């Protein structure tokens, strides 16, 4: 007798309902007849089954049996016997050291394969086994992915037709052993790991359409190894994506390809709800900065995948240290294995698992004293968020500004407060990110040592119909002081003005005002806007000196206590929106030389939601600034 699939020495057999085995076993033989099985436990233990059981038939040189009812645990010794017709000899085969528990597929590229240093390997646990790439089961020890001895031809083909060289003895740590040992600790049943990953591989190389190529394709090799071990597993662990970050055409295909892969694995495992846990790709150092867009795009697609695919979770690794420019280090791989295990248990709804991976839950802009604060909320936080040292990793940016607006990050339970140098303008494309770029420093975790996910860019607010900042004005020279402007009437045409285009959204006249000294002069900004239709516009503006605002000669606003710092959205003022031209005048005191200038832009508040959902499409519906 020779076994082809489903039963090998030292293997872990996937358990089924009731914590009992229920697995097909196939092979070849020379005898026809009934197949009987005997299962015994360790030496000195009573038989698992008191009597042999009839489990299948043998005919035409093949046998098929179903090994059902063996309890989770082991090790067991299994003896198969073909009992032919009377008078003919029987055939026997004994398989020793069999375990029953949970089996996992491990696939992807190098960080799943394991490229961390191997200096302090985890002590072996006899109840955690690996199906190595030699098609042999043994106690799991790094490196689990022994590509240099792989039996599937695809691994040589990917390496340019050259067999892989055996690596140095201090190389090869991945998350596999740590994951298996943590699952053994949590579940108390043996764990099996089927190694299928190959470094540097892309989603195209993992195409499930190549399944029937068997060992000549990556997906075909995975399915071959799956079927060889009975065709049933408890779940899939996946770490891949780096090879799909460039060029842009690959980035655009990533989500669809991942959905196809997950659906194919579930089909081939005959498990429509098979749990899948994937790692969100981490950092890469020394790459061209142009890679960042695609890198962050893959991370964002991975983050959102768990919202689009049921029974799927994504584990962040952005906080983990590296052993080279891209590969997670040994100690970090041990942490990753534990994160994989925790997420898998959370998907399974285990009572003590803790929540699913941390997820971004939204943000809102508010003010703390004179500072703009973006409050970022998270869900699935275990306990409270924390950081080793100054919390880091967030960025808030706006097009045209090269700097990060975040100057301070503070943690409050499951929320993070970002204090900003200025209020981000959603209308100007302001975006929030965590882990921006290819090599960010991110150090925020929760009390289960789980990192915040890389996310973004996401808008910092709901869509609003807002104009660009108003930067073209008619400005006056320095005028005599009007104090706090309480008694100032609207400056008329007698005040000379000249056209000026300011370089950015802050219309600053600080250099002039700073030289004014004790004279405390007055300055005027004037302009006109036109409404093509009746509307309800508002003026959003900021300032840092005493101020008054008139439209069409009518005073609409006054703040005699205006002072530093300037806040772009300090005030919102409803202004006339009748069809036609309107004159806007803003007078500001020099604040004894401390004032800089103003910020102003329009917003329209009466547009329906369907128009607001199309940013950039409603500019013609806003007031037209004539300057």
Phi-psi region of 225 (alpha: psi -120 to 50; beta: other; left: phi over 0): alpha
Contact between residue 248 and residue 285 where contact means Cβ atoms under 8 Å apart: no
Q: Which residues of the chain have pLDDT under 50?
A: none
Q: What is the DSSP string of 470-538?
A: --EEEE---B---TT-TTPPPP-TTS--EEEE-SSSSEE-HHHHHT-GGG--EEEEEEEEEESS---EE
Q: Domain spanning 359-462 has what CATH number?
A: 2.60.40
* Token pair in block for residue 125: 């646990």
Task: Write the CA distances from 424 to 338, 440, 563, integer angstroms.
Answer: 38, 21, 20
Pairing of strands 62-71, 73-83: unpaired
Which is nearest to 453 in space by CA: 602, 343, 547? 343
Q: Domain spanning 117-348 has what CATH number?
A: 3.40.50.1110
* Token pair in block for residue 42: 């360790």
> What are the E-state strand segments in 10-111?
12-14, 20-28, 33-40, 53-59, 62-71, 73-83, 91-108
CATH class of 2-99: mainly beta
Summarised one tens digit per residue, pLDDT across range 79-104 is 999 999 776 788 999 999 999 999 99
C-alpha span between 54 and 37 (Å, rounded): 7
pLDDT confidence of residue 592? 86
Ordered by start, the domain boundaries in the chain are 2-99, 117-348, 359-462, 466-625
Q: Give the right CATH number for 466-625 from 2.60.120, 1.20.120, 2.40.128, 1.10.10.
A: 2.60.120
Phi-psi region of 133 (alpha: psi -120 to 50; beta: other; left: phi over 0): alpha
C-alpha span between 352 and 416 (Å, rounded): 26
Summarised one tens digit per residue, pLDDT across range 415-441 is 999 999 877 765 556 889 999 999 999
Q: Tokens 């089924």 belong to which residue?
A: 16
pLDDT confidence of residue 530? 96
pLDDT confidence of residue 609? 76
pLDDT confidence of residue 616? 54
Note whether 2-99 and 466-625 share their fold. no
C-alpha span between 309 and 256 (Å, rounded): 11
C-alpha span between 601 and 246 (Å, rounded): 38
Contacts of 274 (CB under 8 A, 6+ apart): 233, 235, 236, 265, 266, 311
C-alpha span between 356 and 121 (Å, rounded): 28
Contact between residue 418 and residue 406 where contact means Cβ atoms under 8 Å apart: yes
Listed as own residue / partner, the contacts of 204-211 with beta carbons closer than 8 Å and 24 or more positions apart are: 204/250, 204/257, 205/158, 206/107, 206/240, 206/257, 206/261, 207/257, 208/260, 208/261, 208/264, 208/265, 211/264, 211/268
* Token pair in block for residue 36: 């009987």
């Amino acid at each position: 007798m020779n076994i082809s699939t489903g039963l090998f020495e030292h293997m872990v057999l996937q358990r089924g309902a009731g914590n009992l085995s229920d697995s097909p076993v196939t092979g070849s033989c020379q005898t026809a007849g009934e197949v009987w099985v005997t299962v015994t436990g360790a030496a000195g233990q009573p038989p698992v089954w008191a009597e042999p059981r009839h489990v299948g038939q043998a005919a035409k040189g093949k046998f098929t049996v179903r090994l059902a009812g063996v309890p989770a645990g082991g090790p067991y010794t299994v003896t198969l016997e073909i009992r032919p017709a009377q008078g003919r000899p029987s055939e026997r085969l004994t398989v020793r050291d069999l375990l029953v528990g949970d089996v996992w597929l491990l696939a992807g590229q190098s960080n799943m394969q394991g490229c961390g240093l191997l200096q302090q390997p985890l002590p072996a646990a006899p109840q955690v086994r690996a199906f190595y790439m030699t098609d042999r089961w043994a106690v799991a020890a790094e490196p689990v992915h022994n590509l240099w001895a792989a039996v599937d031809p695809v691994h040589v083909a990917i390496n340019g037709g050259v067999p892989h060289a055996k690596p140095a003895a201090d190389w090869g740590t991945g998350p596999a052993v740590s994951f298996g040992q943590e699952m053994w600790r949590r579940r108390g049943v043996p764990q099996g790991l089927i190694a299928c990953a190959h470094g540097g591989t892309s989603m195209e190389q993992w195409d499930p359409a190549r399944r029937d190529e068997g060992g000549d394709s990556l997906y075909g090799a995975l399915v071959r190894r799956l079927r060889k071990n009975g065709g049933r597993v408890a779940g899939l662990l996946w770490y891949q994506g780096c090879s799909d970050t460039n060029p842009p055409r690959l980035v655009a295909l990533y989500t669809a390809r991942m959905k196809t892969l997950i659906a194919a694995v579930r089909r081939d495992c005959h498990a429509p709800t098979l749990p899948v846990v994937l790692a969100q790709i981490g950092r890469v150092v020394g790459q061209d900065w142009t890679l960042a867009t695609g890198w962050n795009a893959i991370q964002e697609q991975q983050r959102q995948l768990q919202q689009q695919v049921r029974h799927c979770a994504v584990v962040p690794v952005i906080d983990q240290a590296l052993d080279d420019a891209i590969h997670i280090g040994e100690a970090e791989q041990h942490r990753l294995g534990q994160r994989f295990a925790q997420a898998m248990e959370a998907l399974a709804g285990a009572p003590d698992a803790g929540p699913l991976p941390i997820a971004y839950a939204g943000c809102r802009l508010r003010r703390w004293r004179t500072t703009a604060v973006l409050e970022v909320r998270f869900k699935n936080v275990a306990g409270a968020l924390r950081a080793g040292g100054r919390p880091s990793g967030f960025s808030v940016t706006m097009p045209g500004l090269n700097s990060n607006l975040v100057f301070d990050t503070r943690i409050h339970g499951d929320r993070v407060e970002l204090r900003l140098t200025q209020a981000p303008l959603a209308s100007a494309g302001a975006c929030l990110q965590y882990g921006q770029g290819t090599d960010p420093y991110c150090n925020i975790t929760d009390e289960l040592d789980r990192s915040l996910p890389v996310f973004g860019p996401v808008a910092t607010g709901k869509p609003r119909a807002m104009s660009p900042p108003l930067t073209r004005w008619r400005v006056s020279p320095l005028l005599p002081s009007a104090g706090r402007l309480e008694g100032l009437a609207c400056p008329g045409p007698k005040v000379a003005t000249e056209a000026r285009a300011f370089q950015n959204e802050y219309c600053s006249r600080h250099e002039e005002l700073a030289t004014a000294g004790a004279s405390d002069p007055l300055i005027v900004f004037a302009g006109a806007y036109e409404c093509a239709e009746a509307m309800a516009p508002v003026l959003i503006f900021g300032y840092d000196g005493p101020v008054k605002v008139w439209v069409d000669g009518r005073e609409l606003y006054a703040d005699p206590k205006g002072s530093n710092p300037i806040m772009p959205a300090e005030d919102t003022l409803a202004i006339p929106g009748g069809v036609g031209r309107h004159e806007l005048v803003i007078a500001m005191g020099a604040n004894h030389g401390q004032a800089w200038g103003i910020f102003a832009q329009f917003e329209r508040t009466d547009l329906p939601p369907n128009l607001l959902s199309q940013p950039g499409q409603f500019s013609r519906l806003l007031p037209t600034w004539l300057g």
